[in-house]
């Protein structure tokens, strides 16, 4: 089974969902750490049903075609439980911004600083969003956040990882931006002093 299949089963283990619901959650809640295209979800659902890991029922809708609502089967739950405790493969590391940082000594400091400031703003915006979710969870979910057998704990654990990652990345972007901006200021000052000396 593909990793996307396990991601879908993880959502269906919480509640029954339509294909549209799955798409929405994959773009939002799960999309923070695992993304899938709309065109990938329905074929994967079909494979899960074919394998006996998920099943659907039809829900009547007034004035609209019946809606397929999917749920996890016992076989799907068992497959998900087995996958959860398997060792995780090390993902390939490909971060273009870090690659740029590796050669940033060749760049114009001012222009390079803007690149890192833009990414800093993106990570700070996402961090602010995560922190709002954290406050809501802590205010509304209470003791379930400490219950390792609760889906609330699992969501909270994933959120805390996201908070730590965004905070660290934003801080790194801030640090390198400040270094580059200071280098530009020092360089401009030196050029100004040299120009003044020549005029004298």
Give the model confidence (pLDDT) of 17-70 as tens digits.
Answer: 998 899 888 888 787 788 888 888 999 999 999 999 999 999 988 888 899 999
Give residue 186's pLDDT: 56
Give every CB contact of residue 166 below 8 A, 6+ residues apart in sequence: 123, 124, 126, 127, 130
Give every CB contact of residue 104 below 8 A, 6+ residues apart in sequence: 112, 176, 180
> For residue 70, what are the β-bridge partners?
17, 56
Which residue in the block uniquely carries the two structure tokens 């087995």? Answer: 82
| Global pTM value | 0.79
Q: List Cα–Cα distances, 152 to 23, 74, 138, 164, in angstroms.
A: 20, 21, 10, 18
Q: If you count them, how many residues does the chain have? A: 200
Give the model confidence (pLDDT) of 169-188 as tens digits.
Answer: 999 999 999 999 998 765 55
Spell out the domains of the chain, with CATH numbers in brackets.
3-84 (1.10.10.10), 96-199 (no CATH)
CA distance 103 to 179: 14
Give the model confidence (pLDDT) of 85-127 as tens digits.
Answer: 999 888 888 899 999 999 999 999 999 999 999 999 999 999 9
CA 86 distance to own-chain centroid: 22
Give the model confidence (pLDDT) of 118-156 as tens digits.
Answer: 999 999 999 999 999 999 999 999 999 999 999 999 999
């Amino acid at each position: 089974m593909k990793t996307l299949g396990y991601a879908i089963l993880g959502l269906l283990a919480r509640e029954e969902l339509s294909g549209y619901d799955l798409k929405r959650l994959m773009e939002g809640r799960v999309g923070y750490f695992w993304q899938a295209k709309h065109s990938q979800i329905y074929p994967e659902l079909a494979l899960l049903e074919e394998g006996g890991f998920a099943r659907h029922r039809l829900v009547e809708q007034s004035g609209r075609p019946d809606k397929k609502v999917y749920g996890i089967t016992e076989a799907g739950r068992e497959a998900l439980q087995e996958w959860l405790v398997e060792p995780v493969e090390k993902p390939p590391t490909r971060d273009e911004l870090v690659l740029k940082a590796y050669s940033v000594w060749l760049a114009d400091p001012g222009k390079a600083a803007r690149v890192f400031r833009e990414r800093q703003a993106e990570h700070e915006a996402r961090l602010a969003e995560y922190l709002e979710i954290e406050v809501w969870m802590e205010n509304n979910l209470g003791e379930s956040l400490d219950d390792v057998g609760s889906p609330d704990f699992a969501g909270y654990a994933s959120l805390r990882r996201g908070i730590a990652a965004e905070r660290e990345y934003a801080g790194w972007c801030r640090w390198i931006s400040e270094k580059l901006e200071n280098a530009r200021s020092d360089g401009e000052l030196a050029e100004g002093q040299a120009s003044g000396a020549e005029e004298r």
